[in-house]
Structure 1
């Protein structure tokens, strides 16, 4: 049976600008090319889970501009249920400007209609949340909506995965309701206070666990990921050797795959292993949603695994 996942989050049009290097402050340089891709953390994660085989519902908002219908149609082609995505009149769709230098990126996100994903939208989709196995949510919609959605999910005893990106201060009340939090290394530092310089992964993760989160999975880019649960030892999951073309969306791919694997009943360690493989495959292609692999792709990859040394 397909796992049922509800993703609550953003939909953006990604404007990908490639250049040989990033400009310095006040500097203008010539870029190499520009491309448009559908994106947004929520939509990316929805596509990642759907391509692996999950039954995915997306809750979010788009504008009534030229991008809104396009963003929904692209999701629909990937078998994502778009009936819970609303169109906000007089508002632009979310936009992400991605500067790409070789395999490194810097991203500026403009919320647009994503800022209009409200508590009322969560209420309207209560039935879909109740029917889901996993609720996957990020921070590109209002924090008030995130808090409300997490609280509702827990009243139905649903597993909540919170991808705290972009990172911001989170209340202890919210963290106590989160089953799994998935910061990258930068977000982990921000969540545990910049003043704690010198703290290692283990200490920072313990700070989140002490606030009530059940599981912390931290992605560390080309080094793989680390995982820890309360009163357990830190487990490291190494990365894989792959040709890196574009890291945009790799974290979203990881989260979508993690939700899929947990939804089908995998242990959390097995789910992290699948997520690592899936994310590794995603960086070998340009774009966020366009780079998300299928389960068949992952199985083919597994035949010739090559851990990074």
Structure 2
């Protein structure tokens, strides 16, 4: 693999995206049909200076407010038990963090991406250079003296499953001013992507400011919130995996209703009603279940040989956010295809595929899990959620008003990253 050249934030054209003439300004989509979930073909990024996609569609403008980590990935035959010592098969260090991974995925999908976050001064330069190499504007990423960068310790077993421990570091000290400044540049049709590796107060502030600007808010509730205080109101789309969906459901007190209903449709409906947002739940190899714009369905994923699932959810989130303007089912298919490619490669951000790879796979013959497999997975999810029961602190609670949120107040160098255009899809 060849090393990527670094450059100043927001300058130059990364190797996987071709430079194109600026597009004229135009009207964005109605705020009540947010770009994050719009099933039509309208542009989500009406701005001078953004890329124009083939066919005249403008590149989405995505603001990611989230974590930037150093990932220390260790491959083991299996996860050790208490008091057990195992020999690792290998160890690697690369750029990671849910925010950074999703920013990289959105950029490689063709979006115009800006990142807001924080890193330490000792190793932050290399982390920013890795983001710069994908054409991501890192002007909103603060470098904090005396604060270590976030770090994730990722263990991957022979079944390609992972277990992760995160040291937040600078991710828990993102300056409020950086969030406010970035949100001042938002406009209707932009997408703001949030996760749970930064303080909930920071995400709530970004969500409130984004709504004021008419931007669509996508909240990836990962890691799963443990208390109601960690919920982020005011989002238009909730992205979760199975565990995260059940946890959000319990915190909103909707699990009891889902318990008496058949299938996962009731669970998705309950969470959508409680949050006032659309919901997409990724199901691993089975694909994704969704309730978007009142439509509920299942989107199957392709069958692949998984090597490392660390960045699968982040790849899906970044691609889905970047593909605003495509019909819903096409966005789901491409985001799932991107995630399918990512799990065939080791690493977090290094595994995220380039746009051309995803388009090539999406244009090829289907090799997806059957709808029966996906349905079985969602039925099992609903059964587990019902058995878990409602969260004791939220049972019987009234659904929150998502529009009532007020802006709160937020108080070793990386190795060169691989060029995504030079990676082999099949490994």
Would you say same fold, with TM above 0.5? yes
Secondary structure at the aligned position of 2:137 is classed as coil
Task: Give the one of 149, 163, 176 matched to 2:206.
Answer: 149
| 1:247-302 Cα deviation digits (max 9, x unpaired) | 0110000000100111xx11333221211111111111111111111121012112
Long gaps (5+) in structure 1: none
Q: Is the 8 A contact 2:187 2:213 kept in 1?
A: yes
Residue matched to 2:97: 40
Residue matched to 2:157: 101
Residue matched to 2:223: 166
Q: Residues 173 and 240 from structure 1, CA distance in 2 versus in 1: closer, same or farther, beyond 3 angstroms?
A: closer
Task: Give the one of 193, 202, 205 matched to 2:268.
Answer: 205
Residue matched to 1:292: 352
How far apart are the structure 2 equivalents of 1:128 and 1:82?
Answer: 14
| 1:212-252 Cα deviation digits (max 9, x unpaired) | 3321000011111000136x352001110112111011000
Q: Displacement, 1:204?
A: 2.4
Q: Displacement, 1:170?
A: 4.5
Residue matched to 2:419: none
| 1:192-224 Cα deviation digits (max 9, x unpaired) | 118948835323222221223321000011111
Structure 1 or 2, whichever has the larger Rg, is 2
Q: Is the 8 A contact 1:19 1:101 kept in 2?
A: yes
How far apart are the structure 2 equivalents of 1:172 and 1:206?
Answer: 21
Q: Is the 8 A contact 1:5 1:135 kept in 2?
A: yes
Q: Is the 8 A contact 2:69 2:149 kept in 1?
A: yes
The answer on 1:13 being equivalent to 2:74 is no
The answer on 1:214 being equivalent to 2:214 is no
* Bigger shift: residues 252-261 or 130-139: 130-139
Residue matched to 1:51: 108
- TM-score where L is the length of structure 2: 0.68
The answer on 1:271 being equivalent to 2:271 is no
Q: Is the 8 A contact 2:200 2:231 kept in 1?
A: no
Residue matched to 1:306: 367
Secondary structure at the aligned position of 1:74 is classed as helix
Relative CO higher for 1 or 2, CA cutoff 8 Å, sep ≥ 6? 2
Where does 1:37-116 land on structure 2 (aligned, <5 Å)? 37-65=94-122, 67-102=123-158, 103-116=160-173
Where does 1:123-202 land on structure 2 (aligned, <5 Å)? 123-130=180-187, 133-168=190-225, 169-170=227-228, 174-175=232-233, 177-193=234-250, 196=255, 199=259, 200-202=263-265
Residue matched to 2:423: none
How far apart are the structure 1 equivalents of 2:106 and 2:204?
Answer: 23
Residue matched to 2:305: 243
The answer on 1:24 being equivalent to 2:86 is no
Q: Displacement, 1:173?
A: 8.8
| 1:59-101 Cα deviation digits (max 9, x unpaired) | 0000122x21111000000111111110111011000000110
What is the root-mean-square deviation of aligned Cα atoms in Å?
2.0
| 1:151-182 Cα deviation digits (max 9, x unpaired) | 0000011111100011114469943x211000
Q: Which has the higher helix share?
A: 1
Q: Displacement, 1:125?
A: 1.9
How far apart are the structure 2 equivalents of 1:53 and 1:112?
Answer: 30
- How many residue pairs get aligned? The number is 304
* Bigger shift: residues 130-139 or 146-155: 130-139
Q: Which has the higher strand share?
A: 1
How far apart are the structure 2 equivalents of 1:23 and 1:172?
Answer: 30
Q: Is the 8 A contact 1:192 1:204 kept in 2?
A: yes
